[in-house]
């Protein structure tokens, strides 16, 4: 893999990122990213997850390379390649849509109707200064990109629901925008209309978690599946709202 800019990590940072690891082999490294940690390119003066991966750098200085990203406030499984051949293989597999990503989202509005289905709404990106926002677009819009997300209700009350989401395309903010379009914005997602309070319970952040990832392994064989347990604040909110996680 290409050499990267040296990163000096403190012992505390090394221990922190080592504690995030949920899978490691000769080709791969998977972590359960906490909410609030940027995957790459953060604007605040702290190391991103990409930089923290220097804790696993080879003597040559090359460190594992992230194969995909999560929004800063989304928690869950993130995959990195530990070699250039593995990175190339996984990149091609992702482009061929051979990855299956499952997310959990806590939404407002109760269970959608029908309780499971596919959201097919084209999306386009709009940049305003340094900020980016994604909008539902008509299919004939010159910047529209076809987008699909499968959803399934796992648990619901009259006001909130826990949904399982499977994006079939990989657009920026896809799940967040599709759920807002469905009339079920994710709790804590102020950018796309999510409430910051539900049934009298405060919501501190975006309640979206990357629950699992299935993909072909660079060494072949059966598909590899990695699960990331939801963080404590996510599960606490689920319980306080009277929802049940599988």
For 96-131, the pLDDT digits (tens) are 999 999 999 999 999 999 999 999 999 999 888 778
| pLDDT at residue 69 is higher than 70 | yes
User: Model pTM?
Assistant: 0.93
Stretch 166-176: mean pLDDT: 96
Evaluate whether 80 touches 65 at the Cβ level (below 8 Å): yes
Mean pLDDT, the chain, whole residue set: 93
Stretch 80-106: mean pLDDT: 96
Give the active site residue among 27, 50, 71, 73.
71
Among the residues of 149-211, which ranges form H helices? 174-181
Q: What is the pLDDT of residues 200-242, one digit of tens each?
A: 999 999 999 999 999 999 998 888 999 999 999 999 999 999 9
Would you tell me which CATH number, out of the four given (3.60.20.40, 3.30.2350.10, 1.10.274.10, 3.40.50.920), belongs to the domain 1-96?
A: 3.30.2350.10
pLDDT for the residue 1: 47
Active-site annotation holds for 45: no
How far, in Å, are 8, 88, 90, 171, 199 from residue 82 at the CA level?
19, 11, 11, 25, 45
Task: Tell me the CATH class for 100-246.
Answer: alpha beta
User: Where exactly does CATH 3.30.2350.10 map onto the chain?
Assistant: 1-96, 100-246
Q: CB-based burial of residue 29 (10 Å sphere; 0-12 exposed, 13-18 middle, 19+ buried)?
A: buried
Q: How far apart are CA 90 and CA 73, in angstroms?
A: 25
């Amino acid at each position: 893999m290409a050499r990267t800019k040296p990163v000096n990590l403190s012992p505390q940072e090394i221990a922190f990122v080592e504690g995030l690891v949920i899978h490691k082999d000769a080709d791969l490294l998977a972590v359960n990213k906490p909410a609030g940690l940027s995957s790459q390119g953060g604007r605040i003066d702290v190391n991103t997850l990409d930089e923290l991966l220097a804790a696993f750098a080879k003597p040559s200085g090359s460190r594992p390379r992230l194969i995909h990203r999560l929004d800063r406030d989304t928690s869950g499984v993130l995959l990195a390649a530990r070699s250039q051949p593995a990175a190339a293989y996984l990149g091609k597999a992702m482009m061929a849509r051979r990855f299956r990503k499952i997310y959990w989202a806590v939404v407002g509005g109760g269970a959608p109707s029908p309780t499971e289905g596919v959201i097919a709404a084209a999306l386009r990106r709009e940049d305003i200064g340094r900020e980016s926002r994604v909008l539902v677009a008509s299919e004939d819009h010159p910047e529209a990109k076809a987008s699909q997300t499968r959803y399934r209700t796992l648990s619901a009350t009259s006001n909130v629901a826990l949904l399982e989401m499977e994006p079939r395309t990989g657009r920026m903010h896809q799940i967040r925008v599709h759920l807002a379009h469905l009339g079920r914005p994710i709790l804590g997602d102020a950018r796309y209309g999510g409430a910051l309070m539900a049934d009298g319970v405060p919501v501190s952040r975006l309640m979206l978690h990357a629950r699992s990832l299935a993909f072909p392994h660079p060494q072949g064989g059966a598909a590899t599946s990695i699960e990331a347990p939801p963080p404590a604040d996510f599960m606490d909110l689920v319980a306080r709202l009277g929802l049940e996680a599988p």
